[in-house]
């Protein structure tokens, strides 16, 4: 697959939330307002790319030469956790405006399965470094797209009369299902 195809397929065809069911907690939790959704989505894009870069290098130059591939999960989650801490401290000191907009979302991302999921998928599909980074960017963008769409729908939903039993999470899940159905139409694209 060419880089362009990987990019398009990761955003639309294999959308991380709507086709692969990754990152559902923030998808439901942070999609009540568009501003929050934008902040969370951008933070995920940023951390996914950084995490993919670091874990790819560690896998290639530490885990494989040392025959420790079975520790992949443990190593990756620790890398992501410390990376997130480090990025947070760096942004706070170096780029305060960016920290003001992304800062509150960063600590929440450690346990976002979207990030760990992408780093693991990259290793399972044995992508090269460049391809892996493009894939990470596209996956993050797909997450942002799904989150923004959902936030838009939920803001409109506030003014609707929803049956009492469906209010809150149930209706959000059903909306997500309908959205996933429409995303299935992209299947033939790549």
Partner 1 sequence: MNRFIQELTKGLWKEIPPFRLLLGLCPVLAVTKSASNGLGMGLAVLFVLTLSNMIISMVRGFIPKKVRIACFITISATLVVAVELLMQAYAYPLYLQLGIFVPLIVVNCVILGRAEAFAAKNPVHLSIADGLGIGLGFTMSLTFLGAVRELFGTGAVFGVPVMWEGFQPFTVMTEAPGAFLCLGIILGLMNWNTQHQARKRNLAVPENPLPGCGGCTACGAGRQGE
For partner 1, the binding residues (CB under 8 A) are: 18-26, 28-30, 32, 40, 70-74, 76-78, 81, 105, 108, 110-113, 116-117, 120-121, 124, 163-174, 176-178, 180-181, 184
Residue 129: CB minimum distance to partner 1, A: 20
Residue 65: CB minimum distance to partner 1, A: 19
Q: Which is nearer to partner 1, 23 or 140 (CB)?
A: 23
Residue 97: CB minimum distance to partner 1, A: 21
Spell out the residues 6+ positions from residue 73 whose beta carbon is closer than 8 angstroms to its own.
Answer: 120
Q: Which is nearer to partner 1, 98 or 175 (CB)?
A: 175
Contact 155/75 with Cβ under 8 angstroms?
A: no
| DSSP state for residue 33 in the 8-state scheme | S
Contact 134/6 with Cβ under 8 angstroms?
A: yes
Compute the distance between CA of residue 39 and CA of residue 44 in angstroms, rounded to an integer: 9
Residue 171: CB minimum distance to partner 1, A: 7
CA distances from 112 to 40, 46, 69, 166 (A): 11, 13, 22, 26
Spell out the residues 6+ positions from residue 162 whose beta carbon is closer than 8 angstroms to its own.
Answer: 171
Q: Which helix (H) or strand (E) holds 25?
A: helix 24-29
Residue 18: CB minimum distance to partner 1, A: 6
Q: Which is nearer to partner 1, 152 or 170 (CB)?
A: 170
Q: Which is nearer to partner 1, 43 or 137 (CB)?
A: 43
Q: Which is nearer to partner 1, 4 or 170 (CB)?
A: 170
């Amino acid at each position: 697959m060419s880089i362009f195809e990987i990019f398009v397929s990761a955003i639309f065809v294999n959308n991380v939330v709507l086709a692969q069911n990754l990152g559902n907690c923030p998808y439901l939790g942070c999609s009540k307002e568009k501003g929050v959704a934008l902040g969370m989505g951008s933070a995920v894009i940023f951390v996914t790319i950084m995490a993919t870069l670091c874990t790819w290098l560690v896998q290639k130059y530490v885990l494989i030469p040392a025959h420790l591939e079975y520790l992949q999960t443990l190593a990756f989650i620790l890398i992501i956790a410390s990376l997130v801490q480090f990025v947070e401290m760096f942004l706070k000191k170096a780029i305060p405006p960016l920290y003001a907009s992304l800062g509150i979302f960063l600590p929440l991302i450690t346990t976002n399965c979207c990030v760990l999921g992408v780093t693991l998928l990259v290793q399972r599909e044995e992508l090269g470094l460049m391809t892996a980074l493009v894939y990470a960017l596209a996956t993050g963008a797909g997450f942002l797209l799904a989150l923004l769409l959902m936030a838009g729908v939920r803001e409109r939903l506030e003014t609707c009369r929803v049956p009492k039993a469906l209010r809150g999470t149930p209706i959000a899940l059903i909306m997500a299902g309908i959205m996933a159905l429409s995303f299935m139409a992209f299947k033939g694209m790549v």
